[in-house]
Amino acid sequence: MIKVSNVILVLGETGLSYARYLAARGEVFTVLDDEVSSDRLAALRTVSSQTDVAPITGTSIAVAQNVYVSPGVPLSLPAIVENTTVDQLRGDVQMFGEMAAAPFVAITGTNGKSTVAQLVYEIAAQQLDRVALGGNIGTPCLDLLSPEVDLYVLEVSSYQLELAVELAADVAVVLNLSADHLDRYPSAQAYFNTKLALYGHCRSAVINRAVDYEPRRDIPTISIGMDPVGGTAQLGVLGDAITLGGEVLIRKHELRLFGFHNLLNVQAAIGIGLLLDFEIGPM
Active site residues: 113, 136, 181
- β-partners of residue 208 are 224
Q: Are strands 171-174 and 151-155 parallel, antiparallel or unpaired?
A: unpaired
Instruction: Transcribe 126-140 into DSSP letters.
Output: TTSS-EEEEESSSB-
Cα distance between residue 197 and residue 202, in whole Å: 10
Q: How far is CA 217 from the centre of its chain?
A: 23
- C-alpha–C-alpha distance, residues 105 and 135, integer Å: 11
d(CA 102, CA 129): 12
Q: Evaluate whether 33 touches 55 at the Cβ level (below 8 Å).
A: yes
Letter for the amino acid at 256?
R
